[in-house]
Amino acid sequence: MKTIAQQLKLTELPFIIKDKKGNQIYFEDSDNFWRKKEFDKNSNEIYYEDSNSVWIKCEFDENGNEIYHETSDGSIIDNRPKPMEEYTMEELTKILGKEFKLVK
């Protein structure tokens, strides 16, 4: 597959594309190395990929803290909040295997 610079038949490298916020979303050099990035609305880098088959996916919370990180080598760090489970009294009785009483 041809790179963007090859498709555009560009000879002046490096070739760089930036988004509206000035984030570099694509880079390509004369060695045909390329990398692309994606950013969320707060300019946090949420995706990275390069021509060496390396990729990284990230998620951030509303305060800009990284809560999820996954890499192409299989590494995953998942600190995303887990939804609270909801059960009926009948479901809890089945799970516990016996009757129970709720106390506050």
8 A C-beta contact, residue 50 and residue 39: no
DSSP three-state, residue 59: strand
Bridge-partner residues for 35, per DSSP?
A: 27, 50
What is the per-residue pLDDT across 59-78, written as a single tens digit (0 to 9) for each? 999 999 999 999 999 999 99
3-state helix, strand, coil in the chain (%, to 5): 10, 35, 55
Q: Burial, 28: exposed, middle or buried (Cβ in 10 Å; 0-12, 13-18, 19+)? A: buried
pLDDT of 104 strictly over 90? no
> Can the peptide bond before residue 83 be classed as cis, meaning omega within 30 degrees of 0?
no
What is the per-residue pLDDT across 30-59, written as a single tens digit (0 to 9) for each? 998 999 999 999 999 999 999 999 999 999
